[in-house]
């Protein structure tokens, strides 16, 4: 790899511009925590792979999810499903970083570069796309910097930690429409949701009035405790704790937070952003034309796992612009959820299984035919989603799990989180893109 590129500038020049831009204040800037940046700044050209060239990837954040992605993309390549190579990884923890590097090298039989500073990865002129699997409080910064560097972006869910970050990221994506951007939400490629969307567009069940979904699971000791704590972690030696904290620091070293940050409200929205996004996102896609969420209220609490700071039971009511209400249940203390279902004035669409089932309302049995739209078994839907991003990189056609859908879901995530902690309802105005207490 050469040190020149990025429009003829060196990597050192790029890093200097990146650092300067991350604190630049302009009329169009927006805040991410204590950092201000202009999401419209471009610091590197978009590089599109040739027809027969491999897609060269970098991965930022190589903990459990990031390393899982590394294995998955390497396996996609080994099966001959796409010509893709992971050539660089970045993480602030040496054990995570070296583990991912070694796994990629073993599977791909190539050399893979490892960086403590993600900006060095972004400065590389050869990389086409970057997968972001860092903790959610870093998603916005990493994604915005990657877009500015000319990279296509796969951003793990939740898209951001807070709504203001989502709106800033949205501005960045809309300012760089030549870049491909995809949110890495599971279940988005399940055919039943796309078939339901077609039925909604055809008006088969009349106006959609009420939908429901859930993500519920259980454990004996508490959620996310399966993320292990390495006694060999030593901040300042083999782990950069301050870099991990970012603008949420300073904070005393706490291996519980580092390993299990989803349990803490400062670093995560818990069930809402980590689990419920998987079921809410494809349902919002299926509903097609109900508009933006405009009012959200949530309740629940700490019913079993009282040691966890985030809640273990969440129930959310969401009102949309065009006369539709969604209810969502989330739990880590009971695994029995709600059937996924869209209710319309004339009929209902059942999405609890693999297929899409339409049943008429009693009053409309002569107008709506009962039918089952059979949907294929697509196997690992996460792999299908990964390949959708790779397809977008080659075709330059934006994938369906993009910024508008991601922002709508973040309105729900953020307002529901606020409601859980305050006991109040919140509204969102899609004209001004602002939220306030109801």
Predicted confidence (pLDDT) at residue 34 exceeds the cutoff of 60? no
pLDDT in tens, 108-121: 999 999 999 999 99
- Write out pLDDT tens, residues 139-174: 999 999 999 999 999 999 999 999 999 999 999 999
Three-state SS for 406?
A: helix
Q: Place 44 in a pLDDT band, splitting at 50, 70 and 90.
A: confident
CB 435 within 8 A of CB 416: no
Rounded to an integer, what distance in angstroms lies between the CA atom of residue 397 and that of residue 180? 8
Tell me the C-alpha distance between 204 and 178, whole Å.
36
In the structure, what pLDDT confidence band is assigned to residue 20 with cuts at 50, 70 and 90?
A: very low
> pTM for this one?
0.91
Percent helix / strand / coil, the chain, rounded to 5: 35, 25, 40
Nearest Cα residue to 6 out of 150, 143, 179, 152: 150
- What residues contact 231, with CB distance under 8 A and at least 6 apart? none
Tokens 């998955």 found at: 72
pLDDT in tens, 297-324: 999 999 999 999 999 999 999 999 999 9
Are the C-beta atoms of 152 and 181 separated by less than 8 Å?
yes
What pLDDT digit, counting tens, does each position of 234-262 carry? Answer: 999 999 999 999 999 999 999 999 999 99
**Token digits for 17?**
């511009």
Decide if pLDDT at 16 tops 60: no
Spatial CB neighbours of 101, under 8 Å, sequence gap ≥ 6: 89, 112, 113, 114
Q: Rounded distance, CA 146 to CA 59, Å?
A: 11
∠ Cα 36 38 44 (to 5°)? 125
Residue 430 reports pLDDT greater than 70: yes
Average pLDDT over residues 268-273: 98
Give the residue with greater pLDDT, 140 vs 8: 140
> If you average pLDDT over residues 79-95, what whole number do you get?
98
Instruction: Note if the bond before 121 is cis, omega within 30 degrees.
Output: no
Cβ-contact 66, 91 below 8 angstroms: yes
pLDDT band at 122 (very low <50, low <70, confident <90, very high): very high
Q: State yes or no: pLDDT of 393 exceeds 80.
A: yes
């Amino acid at each position: 790899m050469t040190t020149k590129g990025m429009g003829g500038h060196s990597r050192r020049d790029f890093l200097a511009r990146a650092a300067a831009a991350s604190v630049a204040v302009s009329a169009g800037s927006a805040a991410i925590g204590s950092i201000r940046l202009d999401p419209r700044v471009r610091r590197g050209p978009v590089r599109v792979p040739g027809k027969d060239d491999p897609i060269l990837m970098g991965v930022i954040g190589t903990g459990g999810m990031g390393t899982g992605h590394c294995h998955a993309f390497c396996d996609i390549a080994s099966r001959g499903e796409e010509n893709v190579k992971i050539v660089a990884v970045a993480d602030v923890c040496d054990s995570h970083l070296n583990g991912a590097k070694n796994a990629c090298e073993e599977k791909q039989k190539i050399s893979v570069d490892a960086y403590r500073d993600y900006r060095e990865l972004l400065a590389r002129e050869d990389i086409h796309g970057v997968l972001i699997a860092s903790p959610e409080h870093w998603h916005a910064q990493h994604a915005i910097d990657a877009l500015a560097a000319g990279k296509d972006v796969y951003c793990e869910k939740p898209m951001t930690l807070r709504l203001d970050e989502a709106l800033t990221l949205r501005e960045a994506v809309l300012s760089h429409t030549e870049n491909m951007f995809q949110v890495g939400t599971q279940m988005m490629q399940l055919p039943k949701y796309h078939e339901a969307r077609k039925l909604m567009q055809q008006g088969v069940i009349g106006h959609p009035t009420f939908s429901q979904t859930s993500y519920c699971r259980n454990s004996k000791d508490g959620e996310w405790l399966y993320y292990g704590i390495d006694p060999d972690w030593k901040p300042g030696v083999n782990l950069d704790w301050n870099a991990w904290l970012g603008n949420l620091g300073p904070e005393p070293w706490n291996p519980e937070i580092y390993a299990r940050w989803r349990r803490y409200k400062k670093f995560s929205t818990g069930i809402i952003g980590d689990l419920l996004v998987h079921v809410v996102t494809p349902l919002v896609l299926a509903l097609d034309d109900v508009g933006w969420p405009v009012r959200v209220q949530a309740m629940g609490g700490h019913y079993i796992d009282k040691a966890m700071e985030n809640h273990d039971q969440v129930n959310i009511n969401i009102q949309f612009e065009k006369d539709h209400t969604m209810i969502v249940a989330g739990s880590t203390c009971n695994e029995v959820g709600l059937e996924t279902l869209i209710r319309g004035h004339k009929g209902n669409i059942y999405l609890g299984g693999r297929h899409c089932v339409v049943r008429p309302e009693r009053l409309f049995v002569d107008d709506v035919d009962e039918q089952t739209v059979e949907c294929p078994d697509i196997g690992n839907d996460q792999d299908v989603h990964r390949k959708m991003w790779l397809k977008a990189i080659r075709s330059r056609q934006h994938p369906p799990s993009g910024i508008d859908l991601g922002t709508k879901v973040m309105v729900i995530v953020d307002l529901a989180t606020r409601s859980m902690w305050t006991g109040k309802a919140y509204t969102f105005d899609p004209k001004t893109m602002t939220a306030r207490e109801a």
